[in-house]
Amino acid sequence: MKPLSRHKRYTYLFICYVLFFALIPVVAFYASGYRIGEDWTVTQTGGFFVHTSENGVLLTVDNEPSKVLGIFGSGFFVQNLKPGIYDIAVTKTGFVPWYKKVAVFEGVVEETSSLLIPERIIFQELKADEDSTLLESGLATTTDKDSRTISSGKSIFEIVSKSFEENVPVKEEEIDRDELLELFPENAIIKDEVVIYESNNSIETVWLGKQESIPYFFCIFGDCEAEIIAYVSPEDIVHFDFYPNRTDTIIISTEKGIYAVSLDKTPPQFFHPIYKSSGSDFRVVEGNLYIKDGQNFYRVLL
């Protein structure tokens, strides 16, 4: 093969230099998060972060598998997305899938939080035996009962059973309730500057903090309000409280059962039954969910 002449080598080298310096602005353009839209307009990309308390979950964006969360992760960060509405799903084997629409804006990272509830919820029955000890027997969503029992102190049973005698929540932190009632109805509950109360079978939610730190569940596609009607129940609400260890989700009981409801109204709003039995009720005690069905008490393992 005949070697290239010096002239051709210099020519090719010159072309490579031209291409290299011509591509630098393009690479910098894309690396800075800018894209060319369909109408040839320049737009800056955005992204979103999805919190999750479970490991080994899969994130899907517009029906395309995106990321799998490892055992040390706390959420998914997706970036370099063009502005628009994206359909996301968080799934894990054995759990109810969580779906949400997320709006992506130029130069902004949106935030949301998934909630995964087991498809087969376990209920531990609480009983006080003759020796005044507490017995917990595993009770699944079917009628089959687990034979194992765990003995512990009596105080938990007493606290749980007594909590159903009054239609007020057992709070994780003490607050000045009289001061709270001056601003909101008597049934109001406050947690981490988030207030929820029931009015005419509607759950109303108020943010007490600064507007610049308003939580994502007060916003719908970037439009945020400090006071929202988070959920309107078609049935009479018997009791309501925050979901254990969360402020973006509540639990309500009606005549037909007990349900988890997201305060985030961005579609689709999460709504899932926890316990479907007429006349049942619940309380959140020391961060745990307990259910009363007739004369029986159950601890819910979520």
Per-residue pLDDT of 274-286, as tens digits, reads: 999 999 999 999 8
pLDDT of residue 159: 74
Residue 277 tokens read as 């039995």
pLDDT confidence of residue 39:
57
C-beta of residue 208 within 8 angstroms of C-beta of residue 175: no
* Every domain of the chain and the residues it spans: 6-32, 45-113, 122-301
- So what's the pLDDT on residue 123? 93
Q: So what's the pLDDT on residue 103?
A: 95
Query: What's the pLDDT tens digit per position in 1-56?
Result: 566 566 666 676 666 666 665 555 544 445 444 555 555 555 678 999 999 988 88
* CA angle (50 as vertex; 302, 246 as ends), nearest 5: 40
Task: List the structure tokens of 217.
Answer: 């569940």
At 160-214, the pLDDT tens digits run 777 777 655 544 444 555 565 577 888 999 999 999 999 999 999 999 999 999 9
Q: Can you give the pLDDT at residue 17?
A: 62
Higher local confidence (pLDDT), 67 or 245? 245
Residue 145 pLDDT:
32
Read off the pLDDT of residues 215-271 as tens digits, 9 standing for 90 and up.
999 999 989 999 999 999 999 999 999 999 999 999 999 999 999 999 999 999 999
100-113 burial, b at 16+ Cβ within 10 Å, e below that, comes to bebbbbeeeebebb
Confidence (pLDDT) at 136? 42
- pLDDT at residue 139 greater than cutoff 50: no
pLDDT at 286: 86
Cα dihedral across residues 80, 82, 85, 86: positive or negative: negative
67 or 16: whose pLDDT is higher? 67
CATH annotation of 45-113: 2.60.40.10
pLDDT tens for 70-127 read 555 688 999 889 999 999 999 999 999 999 999 999 988 999 999 999 999 999 988 7
